[in-house]
Structure 1
Amino acid sequence: MSIPVRPNRSQLSVPASSMRFIEKAAASAADVVFLDLEDSVAPDDKAAARANAARAVGAFDWGEKTLSVRVNAWDTVWTYRDVIEVLTGASDRLDLLMLPKVHRAADVHALAALVGQVEADLGRTKPVGLELIIESAEGLMNVEAIAAASSRIEALHYGPGDYAASTGARTTAIGEGIAAYPGDPWHYPLSRLLVVGRAHGLRVLDGPWSAHADLEGLATAAARTAALGFDGKWAIHPGQIETINAAYSPPEAEVEQARRILDAMTQAAAEGRGAATLDGRMIDVASIRQAEALVKKAERTT
């Protein structure tokens, strides 16, 4: 199964327990919306939220958005029913299922097998892709095997809250820094996730910024992972979408510079040279790869 190319700057989380919130999400400027059956839904509301998610897939106009449903993790009693009832009740407009708390490749194997059986039983012709949240020390340790566990996988997501809890980090904030730590405490997991995701051709997403009213802090955090190469970041409130979309859309000046590099290297090749100088810097074949990646990213977000 080839991985579709999808814009994925902002990914809006919406509790599936609220049809009103779901309807607003459908009209939002988010690239991706995921209807949440996990953390934002109380245990007594799980069944109703599951029914809402299945119905909402076909009930609203989602435009060109990618639509996902986050099921509950395998360490709960709800996962199998989430998958079966959502896939049975939802139309083919559903693009993805998101699995939280992925600790090992076996978690992915189990979900992929279940999804495949349900699709075969229903005669669904559009395969559902998978998004995986890495949010534990065990998950990060096993992320290479996890990323290779199924051809259905499209994206890896970083879950900062549960990851911090699993490593014993002294913080109760989600996605923010740690005042006592002189640097970025999350650089290692973010970088490891990015390298593994890219090696497998997957999209890689940063997780939520819980201080939803702090747009300045959000912009700083988003700019950091955008600079590393991440595709996008979660939004837990519609008010965060504009800031996130801006952070993960390459600035026009950078895109124009990338195009100038491609033009300069085309000219150099025509003259039989493998390198050139542009604005006082040496550029070569590696520069072409960087420039092409930036231009492609810009094209996906316009």
Structure 2
Amino acid sequence: MTDLWRSVLFLPASNPRAVEKARGLDCDVAVLDLEDAVAPEMKAEARDAAVAALRSGGFRPRLAVRINGLDTPWGSDDLSALAQADATLIVAPKVESAEAVQALAAASPPGARLIAMIETPAAALRLDAIAGSSKALVGLMLGVNDLATGLGTGTSDDREPLKPWLAQTVAAARAHGLIALDGVFNRIDDAEGFAAECRQGRLYGFDGKSLIHPGQIAQSHATFGPSPAEVAAARAIVEAFSAPDAAGKGAIRLDGRMVERLHLEAAEALLARYAATTPHG
């Protein structure tokens, strides 16, 4: 089944109530956070809680863990503990180079997949190198708050200064066959603003969005999942290429426009994503 990445919800691993609630949430990925959401004095406790959650299982979403950076006092211990718990998806914060990804891959549990967070100007300038650095890497995730701060654009909700990096993150991900995940939206009670930012992320080509509240899941799914119109159009393309008179043709006429084999491949991929949404209702 095709993995879905429409909604990637962060929750503090140090909060037992949040971890327990995550078991039944409809997000595609739940990220047990050991980094920003956890105070220094709670790091060890959060790590133990994440390990316990991974071992116990029973979560509806796929589980990931955001570790602390390897340049912090906690990062190496995080990876050592996750190796004992057979963690399969690790989110790495503030990745700034190909070498950093390679070091993370070497220290991670065997077979674990990595998501690299792009959060600094240095990372933004090395996107291609980071994206092509390791077979363990499966995705790039923008850390918009840190990136905006590092660029000096402030932390307002106007993403105009970040648009070049939105596009380049997606381009780097696509060039290397990776998932591209948009950053968080900070105003939990602004449903309209969140919907608009989801639409912007979809427009730029992101596969999904990082979330900070369960109330954002439904909108993220609605925006990043295939719409009924897109599904109908994709089915029409597949059916047209399946017709006897399309055999051997690289391009056909459909509804007044030329449709090529690349459109067929895109339509088949969209229908596969649509089929994968069935377990989520």
TM-score by length of 2: 0.92
Confirm or deny that 1:48 pairs with 2:68: no
Q: Secondary structure at the match of 1:186?
A: helix
**Residues 157 and 206 of structure 1 are in contact (CA less than 8 Å); yes or no, is this contact kept in structure 2?**
yes
**Residues 241 and 247 of structure 2 are in contact (CA less than 8 Å); yes or no, is this contact kept in structure 1?**
no
Confirm or deny that 1:111 pairs with 2:94: no
Q: Secondary structure at the match of 2:274?
A: helix
Residues 141-175 of structure 1: per-residue CA shift (max 9 Å, x gap)? 11111112211111110110111111111x223xx
Confirm or deny that 1:177 pairs with 2:148: no
Single out whichever of 71-80 and 272-281 deviates more from structure 2: 272-281
Single out whichever of 218-227 and 279-288 deviates more from structure 2: 279-288
Residues 236-291 of structure 1: per-residue CA shift (max 9 Å, x gap)? 01111111111111111211111102222333754665433322222222322332
Single out whichever of 273-282 and 130-139 deviates more from structure 2: 273-282
Residues 71-113 of structure 1: per-residue CA shift (max 9 Å, x gap)? 012332111011112322x2x3x32111000011111121111
**Residues 219 and 243 of structure 1 are in contact (CA less than 8 Å); yes or no, is this contact kept in structure 2?**
yes
Confirm or deny that 1:251 pairs with 2:227: yes
Q: Which amino acid aligns with 2:253?
A: T
Q: Select the residue among 143, 147, 156 that pairs with 2:127.
A: 143
CA distance in 1, matches of 2:50, 2:248: 58
Q: Which structure 2 segments of 5+ residues have no match?
A: none
Aligned to 1:17: 14
Residues 38-75 of structure 1: per-residue CA shift (max 9 Å, x gap)? 00101111111111111111234113x22110001233
Q: Which amino acid aligns with 1:74?
A: L
Aligned to 1:123: none
Aligned to 1:122: none
**Residues 19 and 56 of structure 1 are in contact (CA less than 8 Å); yes or no, is this contact kept in structure 2?**
no
Confirm or deny that 1:86 pairs with 2:73: no
> Over aligned residue pairs, what C-alpha RMSD do you find?
1.9
**Residues 275 and 284 of structure 1 are in contact (CA less than 8 Å); yes or no, is this contact kept in structure 2?**
yes
CA distance in 2, matches of 1:136, 1:239: 28
Q: Pairwise mapping of residues 48-87 of structure 1 onto structure 2 (< 5 A)?
A: 48-63=45-60, 65-87=61-83
Deviation at 1:199, TM superposition (A): 1.5
TM-score by length of 1: 0.86
Q: Pairwise mapping of residues 160-239 of structure 1 onto structure 2 (< 5 A)?
A: 160-169=144-153, 171-173=154-156, 176-177=157-158, 184-239=160-215
Aligned length in residues: 278
Q: Secondary structure at the match of 1:14?
A: strand
CA distance in 1, matches of 2:4, 2:272: 11
Q: Which amino acid aligns with 2:81?
A: E
Q: Secondary structure at the match of 2:26?
A: coil
Aligned to 1:286: 262
Deviation at 1:5, TM superposition (A): 4.2
**Residues 135 and 163 of structure 1 are in contact (CA less than 8 Å); yes or no, is this contact kept in structure 2?**
yes
Deviation at 1:229, TM superposition (A): 2.4
**Residues 54 and 87 of structure 1 are in contact (CA less than 8 Å); yes or no, is this contact kept in structure 2?**
no
